[in-house]
Amino acid sequence: MIYDKKLQEMIERLRQNGISNSRVLEAMRKVPRHYFVAPGLELQAYDEKALPIGFGQTISHPFTVALMTQILDPQEGERILEIGTGSGYQAAVLCRLGCHVYSVEKIRELAQLAERRMKQLGCTYRVLIRIGDGSRGWPAHAPYDAIVFTAGAPQAPEHLFEQLKIGGRLLVPIGSQKEQVLTLFVKDKNEVRKKEIKKLRFVPLKGEHGWR
């Protein structure tokens, strides 16, 4: 099938561009990315670009998803909070890594579409999607092993550190609405360590702790 060929090309491109975690590559190999784009864009799904998914939102570049997943290094059985479900692609990749994903999406229609895709892929037993303000997190299922933002935040989400376990990781793009720096926070017993990684561009985070 044409999708199989394009998927293999995507995986090889990710490997050449520095994605070395074999578990991440294998998880992305198992997720049919063309399920997650708007009708008519399926053949572009595996190209290295963001694509519109409606409501002013996009599905991130394959490299961006792979890089963020590699940085988080999620382990089987870990509990991951995702801020911004979007198309559901990142959640599906985490599901294939054996994680339990709690994902919050502000746009009802996107959340409902993502839920249908999770059912198609058999991920509903590991992925729980809620409609609401993801910038507040999801305290009911805390603490989490990791928290990942799929939208750019105006500042460090320090209010979510309490929803992390000791040793937990939080990955978030921070900056202006035009450009952000992908930033990793690691919660130790007595401090939260910060590491800036790479400049990227995401859609702006909406909600109480996002862009108004």
The domain total for the chain is 1
Q: Does a structural domain hold residue 157?
A: yes
Boundaries of domain holding 75? 2-200
Whole-angstrom distance, CA of residue 169 vs CA of residue 162:
12
* Residue-wise pLDDT tens digits, 110-157: 999 999 999 999 999 999 999 999 999 999 999 999 999 999 999 999
- 60 is annotated as an active-site residue: yes
Q: For residue 161, what pLDDT is reported?
A: 97
Give just the sign of the alpha carbon dihedral 26, 4, 203, 108: negative
* Residue-wise pLDDT tens digits, 180-196: 999 999 999 999 999 99
pLDDT confidence bin for 56, thresholds 50/70/90: confident
- Long-range contact pairs involving 174-183 (C-beta distance under 8 Å, separation at least 24): 177/152, 177/204, 177/211, 180/152, 180/153, 182/67, 182/68, 182/71, 183/156
Write the CATH number for 131: 3.40.50.150
Which pTM was predicted?
0.95
CB 84 within 8 A of CB 104: yes
Q: Does a structural domain hold residue 205?
A: no
Q: Does a structural domain hold residue 176?
A: yes
Stretch (H or E) spanning 92: helix 89-96
Q: For residue 211, what pLDDT is reported?
A: 80
Q: Does a structural domain hold residue 49?
A: yes
Q: Is the pLDDT of residue 23 over 90?
A: yes
Mean pLDDT of 45-60: 93
Q: Is the pLDDT of residue 212 over 80?
A: no
Q: Does a structural domain hold residue 208?
A: no
* Residue-wise pLDDT tens digits, 147-157: 999 999 999 99
Q: Does a structural domain hold residue 209?
A: no
Q: Does a structural domain hold residue 212?
A: no
Select which of 60, 87, 103, 135 is catalytic. Answer: 60
Q: Does a structural domain hold residue 77?
A: yes
